[in-house]
Amino acid sequence: MGLSKEELLEKSGKLYDIEHIRKDFPILKQTVHGKPLVYLDNAASTQKPQTVINALTDYYSSYNANIHRGIHTLAEKATSAFELTRETLKLFINAPSVEQIIFTKGTTEGINLVASSYGRQNIKKGDEIIVSGLEHHSNMVPWQMLAVEKGAFVKIIPVNNAGDLIMEEYEKLLSDRTKIVAVNHVSNTLGTVNPVKEIISLAHKKEAKVLIDGAQAASHLDIDVQDLDADFYVLSGHKLYGPTGIGILYGKKEILEAMPPYQGGGEMIREVSYEKCSFNELPYKFEAGTPNIADTVALKYAIEYLDKLGKASIRAHENNLLQYTTEQLKHIDGLKIVGTAKQKVSIISFSIEGIHHQDIGILLDQHGIAIRTGHHCTQPLMGRFNITGTSRASFALYNTIEEADKLIAGINKAIKMLR
């Protein structure tokens, strides 16, 4: 049984000053269809604090220049800001060294990089790759493509009715043929927090490498890649209050060093002649071409913003919203929460008997409430629950109990219109 609204408000108020925090996010001030925006699509992308927006403007207004090889002042300033973000990310995930932080466009590119470089080098005919039934298409399709190319097989860890991975089945899937295990830290559709440390440890017993998709975890959970003993960890900046188009791939040093480059071009080479070339060292070996400098520079400010508030406070606040909203949703006739895992982040997927999720999404938008509807890029998971999609509300550090109330009222109103 959840806490009452008053108890929650008091508890949340002690965590941090939510009104003050909301002022840091200029986008939240607007109205949509004449109603104050209630942004509950944070699992798709989070909004950006003013410091991140300022960092982008500042970069282009005062020190935009191509990095690393320039000897002039602007190039040096840009290079140092760019590399500072790498340092910040190293601390953020507790990586042993900065050269293990490779900048990518985002999670999807990180996974494709590993599948293409490590995968092509190491996967052979008859090998097995294990992914989970909770995966986003981004952590499924690159492995399927690799498997097809190499004559390997993709095995799926099944999901139980609550949305937890069935660990006994995972153990049965593991064998000497298993070469890679790729699972998400947190499910984007159901919010399930997966036991990744255990998953990694079991895989290592079979000498398989493990990639963790941290896209949905990074804004909620403390990430410690060394404690997890992850071989690869990937995440996206835009899901943790940073800009779009920037993310990281973390990898163990000896693995990254042995991997061939992903793309050829500038930055990733040491020497080039017409006959051959030698490759640059980590992390530049994997960063061909002029990188996304502005967004990389600004990502540091997002991490600093998170660090200032503290993940523990954020988690406690979001968990209050999760518990409160879940409890309120249970009172709605015909509403079923999809995903009731033991450990969840503030993502709630639901379906309502006889009502299409798209209709709910359209009508909530009329109230200024932004949620996501559809299959959430997890079609196999939808098949597992015999549904074509869900409505998904996902909460972030700036959401309030009042917004949760508006969501509930909006759903009730929409049901009235649709039934």
Nearer to other proteins by C-beta: 139 or 390?
390
- Residue 70: closest CA among 243, 210, 266: 266
Is residue 411 close enough to count as binding other proteins by CB under 8 A?
Answer: no
Q: Which CA distances in Å does 148 have to 116, 128, 143, 263? A: 12, 11, 9, 21
Is residue 30 close enough to count as binding other proteins by CB under 8 A?
Answer: no
Clarify whether 377 is annotated catalytic.
Answer: yes
Is residue 366 close enough to count as binding other proteins by CB under 8 A?
Answer: yes
Nearer to other proteins by C-beta: 22 or 356?
356
To other proteins, the closest distance from the beta carbon of 36 in angstroms equals 16
- Only one of the segments 57-65, 302-310, 343-351, 362-370 lies at the binding site for other proteins (rule: CB under 8 A); that segment is 362-370
Is residue 359 close enough to count as binding other proteins by CB under 8 A?
Answer: yes
- Only one of the segments 38-46, 89-97, 122-130, 350-358 lies at the binding site for other proteins (rule: CB under 8 A); that segment is 350-358
To other proteins, the closest distance from the beta carbon of 418 in angstroms equals 5
Is residue 418 close enough to count as binding other proteins by CB under 8 A?
Answer: yes
Is residue 308 close enough to count as binding other proteins by CB under 8 A?
Answer: no
Is residue 214 close enough to count as binding other proteins by CB under 8 A?
Answer: no
DSSP assignment of 118-160: IIHHH--TT-EEEEETT--GGGTHHHHHHHHHHT-EEEEE-B-
* Token pair recorded at residue 204: 């290592």
Among 67, 93, 363, 404, binds other proteins (CB under 8 A): 363
Among 358, 383, 402, 412, binds other proteins (CB under 8 A): 358
Among 179, 220, 357, 376, binds other proteins (CB under 8 A): 357
Please, which of residues 383-402 interact with other proteins by CB under 8 A? Answer: 388-389
CA-to-CA distance for 186 and 345, rounded, in angstroms?
8
Amino acid letter, residue 412: N
Q: Which CA distances in Å does 335 have to 153, 176, 341, 374, 412? A: 38, 44, 17, 16, 10
Looking from the CA of 250 toward its CB, the CA atoms found within 13 Å total 30
Is residue 374 close enough to count as binding other proteins by CB under 8 A?
Answer: yes
To other proteins, the closest distance from the beta carbon of 367 in angstroms equals 8
Please, which of residues 73-132 interact with other proteins by CB under 8 A? Answer: none
CA-to-CA distance for 231 and 250, rounded, in angstroms?
8
To other proteins, the closest distance from the beta carbon of 105 in angstroms equals 22
To other proteins, the closest distance from the beta carbon of 360 in angstroms equals 10
- Only one of the segments 74-82, 109-117, 228-236, 353-361 lies at the binding site for other proteins (rule: CB under 8 A); that segment is 353-361
CA-to-CA distance for 176 and 155, rounded, in angstroms?
13
To other proteins, the closest distance from the beta carbon of 43 in angstroms equals 17
Nearer to other proteins by C-beta: 40 or 89?
40
CA-to-CA distance for 158 and 131, rounded, in angstroms?
9
- Applying CB under 8 A, the site for other proteins has a residue count of 15
Is residue 189 close enough to count as binding other proteins by CB under 8 A?
Answer: no
Secondary structure (3-state) at 268:
coil
Amino acid letter, residue 195: P
Contact 177, 126 (CB under 8 A): yes
CA-to-CA distance for 79 and 267, rounded, in angstroms?
13
* Token pair recorded at residue 338: 């999809």
Is residue 298 close enough to count as binding other proteins by CB under 8 A?
Answer: no
Is residue 376 close enough to count as binding other proteins by CB under 8 A?
Answer: no
Is residue 36 close enough to count as binding other proteins by CB under 8 A?
Answer: no
C-alpha angle 331-16-225 in degrees, rounded to nearest 5: 90
* Token pair recorded at residue 262: 């992903």
Neighbour-count burial of 62, counting CB atoms closer than 10 A to its CB (0-12 exposed, 13-18 middle, 19+ buried): exposed
Is residue 258 close enough to count as binding other proteins by CB under 8 A?
Answer: no
204-213: buried (b, 16+ CB within 10 Å) or exposed (e) per residue? eebebbbbbb
Contact 372, 41 (CB under 8 A): yes
Nearer to other proteins by C-beta: 155 or 376?
376
Q: Which of 18, 44, 53, 377 is catalytic?
A: 377
Among 196, 321, 355, 404, binds other proteins (CB under 8 A): 355
Positions in the binding site for other proteins (CB under 8 A): 33, 355-359, 362-363, 366, 373-374, 388-389, 417-418
The residues assigned a catalytic role are: 377
